[in-house]
A = this chain, B = another copy of it.
């Protein structure tokens, strides 16, 4: 039985708490948050505290707090030589205070407070400065039902950056499509199956192989008409840049007409 303490009570901390309590391999011994109100309602299930000095010995302390708070919170922990991990995609493992053994337990998924999380679909990226502790983190991840990947800090930061492209930026493309179609009184529902299928497709083939459309075909007539259709300069710029990017990926080189020199 792995004894853990969770620190923080935001999206990640709460989803981790709920999932760990379902596991027989892990016990959440204590749950700390600086603001007691956020965890008070769980006091019948576990020991909830807002005072760090009450933290008992545990196999691992999971700091699921805001990125900016990881370093400072790790410094004021009133113990040393124990195992402390954070859950951030971007914070360096060495930002944790070195008085404790340091690790990372980064769930690569988008969490929001309302929606339930299926941890089968949450890859967990683990890192530890002590090789011996990796097995512990692996067991923790397995207790959640997650797939585990051993990843170093540079790789984790690259994953975090990649996640911005596939999550935040894709979502913004959906938003732009929503704006464009709303402006012509088109029901955004019509586009949802295509959005799902676009994501689904790359389960079976690489994004490179999955590409289609006017940029990939170098269909200049359609590209020109699309650019004309777009009313916002920002949308035009995104269309142009993404089109150029697809062309470059697929080796479509435009020959520039060079003016004959005088």
| A residues lining the B interface (CB < 8 Å) | 67, 90, 108-110, 112, 115, 121-123, 125, 149, 151, 154-155, 157-159, 161-178, 180-181, 183-204, 206-208, 210-216, 222, 225-226, 229-230, 234, 237-239, 241-242, 244-246, 248-249
Copies in the complex: 2
CB distance from A208 to the nearest CB of B (A): 6
A194 touches B158 (CB 8 A): no
Cα separation A198 to B230 with both chains bound (whole Å) = 25
How distant is the Cα of A222 from the Cα of B157 in the complex, in angstroms? Answer: 10
Instruction: Report whether over half of chain A's contact residues are helix, strand or loop; otherwise say mixed.
Output: helix
**Given A190-B125, A241-B237, A173:B165 Cβ within 8 A:** yes
Asked if A196 and B121 make an inter-chain contact with CB atoms under 8 angstroms apart, the answer reads yes
- Closest-by-CB residue of B relative to A208 is B175
CB pair A212–B112 under 8 Å, yes or no, is yes
Cβ–Cβ < 8 Å partners of A109 in chain B: 193-194, 197
Most chain B CB atoms below 10 A, which of A115, A171, A202: A171
Contact B164 A226 (CB under 8 A): yes
Bound-complex Cα distance A216 to B110 (A): 14
Chain B residues with CB below 8 A from A176, complex form: 165, 245
> Closest chain B residue to A121 by CB distance?
B193
What is the CB-to-nearest-CB distance from A20 to chain B, in angstroms, rounded to a whole number?
19
In this complex, the member of A108, A159, A214, A234 whose beta carbon has the largest number of chain B beta carbons within 10 angstroms is A159
By a CB distance below 8 angstroms, the chain B residues around A208 are: 175, 178
A249–B172 touching, CB < 8 Å = yes
Instruction: Check if B198 sits within 8 Å of A177, measured CB to CB.
Output: no
Q: Are B108 and A194 in contact (CB under 8 A)?
A: yes
Q: How many angstroms between the C-alpha atoms of A163 and B112 in the bound complex?
A: 27
Tell me whether B184 and A154 are in contact (CB under 8 A): yes
Task: Report A177 CB to chain B, min CB distance, Å.
Answer: 4
Contact, CB under 8 Å: A171 / B198: yes
